[in-house]
Amino acid sequence: MKIHVVESVLKANDAVAAAIRRTLQQAGLLALNLMSGPGSGKTTLLEKTIPLLGPRHPCGVLVGDLQTTRDAERLGDLAVHTTQINTGTGCHLSATQVAEALAGLDLQSLAFLFIENVGNMVCPAAFDLGEHRKVVLLSVPEGDDKVAKYYTLFQQADVILLTKVDLLGVLDFRVDRVREDLARLNTRAPLIPLSAKTGEGIDEWLAWLHAQRAAIVAG
C-alpha cells in the first residue's frame, strides 16, 4: 500500500517533469538541478557563477528550502529572476513546485536556469524536475566517504563538483578515495575540484556549463 502510493507519486512527478522538459527545450536555455547536503556551497557557487556568466547569459534561479528566504535574498541582485520555494517540511523539490514557479517566468529571456534543491543527499535524487543536467556538490568538510554512502545521488550526476577544496590542507580528505568510489558508481560525470574562495576550478565549471548549453541549444 505504502509502496504503491510512493510509486504513483513518483509517476505523477515524472509526468509533470516531462512537460517541464518540453517547455524548457523550446525556450533554448540550459536548466540545472543542483543537489547536495546542507551547507556544501550551492548558493555560494551561484553567487560566484552568475556574475561570471555575465549579462549576455541571463540567469534564472529557483531556490528550495524548508523555510526562510535567505538564499533568494543572497541571489536576488545577481539573477534576472529568483524564486524562493519553501517546502515547509518537504525534503526535496517536486516537479509541480518547479512548474508553478516557471509559470510566471519569461523563459525565452534566460540562458541558464539554476534550480537549487533542498539541502539533502537522499530524497532529491528520486525526483526528476525536468532539468537538462544534474549537478551534485560534495564539500571537502563532509568527508571522502560520502559517494558510496549516498550512491543514488552520485549515480545520477552529470557533473560532480568537489567544493571547498581550499580546505584540503586543513582537513583529512583523500580525493583518490572519492575517485575510487566514483569509478564504481559513475564514470560518465566529470569531477571538478572547485573553490569559490580561491577561484580554483571555476573556469572548468564555466566551460562545462557553456558546453552543455551549446549541446542543448543545438539539440
In the complex, what is the shortest distance from the CB of residue 154 to a second copy, in angstroms, rounded to a whole number?
11
Please report whether residue 119 would count as binding a second copy according to CB under 8 A.
yes
Please report whether residue 123 would count as binding a second copy according to CB under 8 A.
yes
Instruction: List the one residue from 80, 105, 167, 206 that touches a second copy (CB under 8 A).
Output: 167
* C-alpha span between 71 and 118 (Å, rounded): 11
Distance of alpha carbon 151 from the chain centroid: 16
Please report whether residue 5 would count as binding a second copy according to CB under 8 A.
yes
Positions in 56-95 near a second copy (CB under 8 A): 65-68, 70, 89-91
**Can you read off the three cell numbers belonging to residue 39?**
551547507
In sequence order, which residues have a C-beta less than 8 Å from that of residue 182 and are 6 or more positions away?
147, 154, 160, 189, 191
Q: What amino acid occupies position 174?
A: R
CB 67 within 8 A of CB 89: no
Query: By rule CB under 8 A, what string of x and - marks binding of each residue 125-154 to a second copy?
Result: -x------------x-xxx-xx-xxxxx--
**Shorter beta-carbon distance to a second copy: residue 1 or 218:** 1
* C-alpha span between 18 and 24 (Å, rounded): 10
Positions in 18-37 near a second copy (CB under 8 A): 37
Nearest-10 Cα torsion for 150, 151, 156, 157: 60
* C-alpha span between 60 and 206 (Å, rounded): 16
In the complex, what is the shortest distance from the CB of residue 27 to a second copy, in angstroms, rounded to a whole number?
30
Applying CB under 8 A, the residues found at the interface with a second copy are 1-2, 5, 9, 37-39, 65-68, 70, 89-91, 118-123, 126, 139, 141-143, 145-146, 148-152, 164, 167, 170
